[in-house]
Structure 1
């Protein structure tokens, strides 16, 4: 690697002001010799119709979990998309990514009968096609920060993947990705102020970067009037119940080839202990249940720039109407494509390296289709 590319992501500035990220000047070009990884679920709309959106979210988040574990905690930019994920890595880590994604494809098919696509695309080829890949870092709390992408590069890579280019082929049927830390034990968070609205907005080729920046600022300003800017997870953390609604999913994720029934029984006991701990609120060693629940909310990834703007908001009728009018106007001018999907609950899929630290990450989506349904509405 070029000397300038070593430690590139560590040098990308971190901001605590989400609205500032509507300004393209806050994004830094990804090095030309890096690699983009993309993955998504084939026919996620059909899976949603079969009531499997939590499974879809889990498989999408598994892409990020497998990469974090494969890179041994090394920082790299990634983004969760509901039914898939994208990331960028140095060229030196391409073989690690290929192995992880190949194992994920086999695991998704054998564990859930889900077809997962995956591709690795050189950044240089993205730029040769007239797109770009730039990244920023946003910290919703002192514990974590999330990558934001712009430039059209991720969207182009996803389109190439769906056309069968740059494919990462499945590994053997017994291949298992390392999904340590991936978890789904929280209950859904019901809407408290109206509906949980999942929103996907993308610029068209007719829109300049400033056109989209202005629209994003307007939409974010409208959402600012909502409680906690529309954050769909309560400030004190999401509900926790026993038995947890995601028990079977957790068992599939964590069994590592062992008996599913035995893993379910093991998790049932573990989660009873966790539930009692949260109900009591008592500290156990260095683990403080109330602090952990608050950090879950603070760390939640409920809005992002991902070659456009994606948000899952707890939104009242008046604010939703105002945002929709803005989007309809921009759409009529040929500046954007957008889709939204309203539901009654938000759900989370989590990656927790250690419960005693504050760097656990929580991917938020609508519970009955969320981003995948919003994207389908946009395409329609």
Structure 2
């Protein structure tokens, strides 16, 4: 008999698992907080690696569809200093094509029967019934139970995680303010000439500007700096006030001493959004198996985004878990599948968290890009 599986979270990670279960004939349901299937709700561009993200897509029979949207020309990666000097230009021809997050999500959504996804079901809490079976509680007042397995794919602030442990993400001290520059901007031509395809990472002392080409030809820009966790809510700046945000970022305490061509990005940026960077402690990935529950992706091992893994690590989780479930599909095999998956995931997740924190210190330091480039050169990054 196929197990009944609940997947909490309809992002790329949860949908990868859903697609792989669909291909293997398992009974499952996805609970997603979004009210509709509007896959264009946001997110940046993702580079998918051949041995992880791309492999999961291949296993799901979706690689031809993926290639229609993958941007193989956007794999370049440039490093500059705060004066705009290009210090490193690498990545040409790398097998890690970019794809917009919403397009990746749409590919998966279109491959899954519509009746397998419950929209508007944000999990607000959970509990175990008298038989130790998880009961999910939703914001719409409904509940769901009776599953043989609940998989938390619900991100950094997972509502499923408390069924396994009490680990909580810790603020890293690093903060991004995200913005966009569109082709209609007067700054677009100069930006396209400087960055071209792919990604530019400009580094200054304890500061960072990441500029990344998107599928619609716009550029997504992340302004990174050290800041308190409540930066967006402590009265420092109102992110809905574009003029105030630009004034703050151009001040001497932020990017005021950067070269003019980089400051021009701030002057023409629009639609600001905050992004505080969190990470789970690496040691939290060593829990005892909990019958009927497991975690994948950021719910299991959210990390600051400096190891180049992110969605690839999450999709690898989904791939391994689906393979283990298919391998042990009878009798008490589901518990064995989860146990083997977790033993595979723990060291991978700890490695991603540890490397991400280490790399973050290289990217945000008083030397600007120089410590980072040394690490790239000697292979320690």
Instruction: Provide the TM-score with structure 2 as the length reference.
Output: 0.26
Q: Between Structure 1 and Structure 2, which shows a larger proportion of helix residues?
A: 1
| TM-score normalized by the length of structure 1 | 0.26
